[in-house]
Amino acid sequence: MSALIPLPRITDDERRARLGHRHLLAPGRRAGTVEEVADAVVGLHASDAATVYLSACARLSEPSPAEVERGLYEDVTLVKLLSMRRTIFAVSTGLAPYVDAAAARAIAERERKTLLKSLLGCVDAARPWDARRLAETERAVLETLAVRGEATTAELAKDVPALKEQIVASPGKPYEGRQSVGSRVLRLLASDGHVRRSRPRGSWTSSLYPWALVPPLPEVPVREAKAELARRWLASYGPATEADLKWWTGWTLRDTRAALADVGVRKVVLSHGEGFALDEDADARPAPVGDWAALLPGLDPTAMGWRDRDWYLSPEHVPFLFDRAGNVGPTVWWNGRIVGGWAQHANGEIGWRLLEDTGREASAAIETEAARLSAWLGDVRVTPRFRTPLERELVR
């Protein structure tokens, strides 16, 4: 009887070494284009307008908001999709059809059901809302955009009055509020892949976007799309656990396991249990990249890439760096570990604080990265959408 072949073992140190290489964080690995960055991390978080720029520029050899704007608004080689975990991601046009089929389609269907239910609470409605009226309003918006070219929600409401109506959100609750029908309808049209956000009015940190029409994405079978998304994620974030992939995608356990089976992954031993890796990655050893430091923004894809984070983040640091909803704030990295946080002061200076002792070499490298960040930000001031305790403390 032949002896059982032991599973490949991948240590935490080896996982951290992969980050500098695959996530383009080591200085020698930085990219030339925003599309390269987006593909390296399988999509840039875009819930906060500034995060896309900060995440991309941290990984560009020549950081420039203009390079990010080129991809988003000029060449339109990046597409924003409400997708994994019901979060907005900016993904390359090559990956977009797979993200759309693997995650965005199902979310769009749920968004439509939720909106129809919410519209029942519309106050002072010209007539009752139902699926038919919603479809009529959507068609009117698309026809208006075809004429205008692009327009903000407020501008569209001048031509489509139904968008001005108000929905009562959370009626009877202490946090009851009102939302415009327009904001919800445009979000739904974006989820369905009919419209996109154009260049914001104002600076690149602004959230005042006009909307524009977009051509439909190519259709990909759902099963094929999920397998491809799982493969791409493992190539960038692997080795990792089944729970990590399930959390990152927002899939069911059944869909997660099916995608892993379709990819044909190998089991590996991690420091805290079993995980999975692509076949070609299971026995590979990461290429050396040298010491590296990075200042990453809130909601950066690297910080939010796994459910289980102990191998790159001490549990003791979580209360300082995350808000109550689980959103990560700006983080300081040293050789694949989160070691502190940073913030921008009102005068533009970048302040940072370490939460553990990393030595003088690390401090010098972090100082260099802070100066690099401050240089390309220039006169721009950035406040994270999701404030965290350490970030708030640093800007006092």
Q: What is the pLDDT of residue 4?
A: 65
Outline where DSSP puts E strands in 172-262. 177-180, 195-197, 211-213
pTM of the full structure: 0.93
Q: Are residues 264 and 279 in contact, defined by beta-carbon separation less than 8 angstroms? A: yes
The residues pairing with 343 across neighbouring beta strands, listed in sequence order, are 351
Can the peptide bond before residue 239 be classed as cis, meaning omega within 30 degrees of 0?
yes
Q: What is the pLDDT of residue 3?
A: 52
Give CA–CA dist 151/157, Å, rounded. Answer: 10
DSSP-derived 3-state class of residue 226? helix
Mean pLDDT by groups of 10 residues along the chain of 396 residues: 74 94 96 98 94 98 97 96 95 98 96 92 83 96 97 96 87 75 94 94 90 95 98 97 98 98 95 93 85 97 97 97 96 98 94 96 97 96 94 93
Q: What is the pLDDT of residue 289?
A: 87
Q: Which two tokens stand for residue 55?
A: 């995440």
Q: Which two tokens stand for residue 144?
A: 């208006």
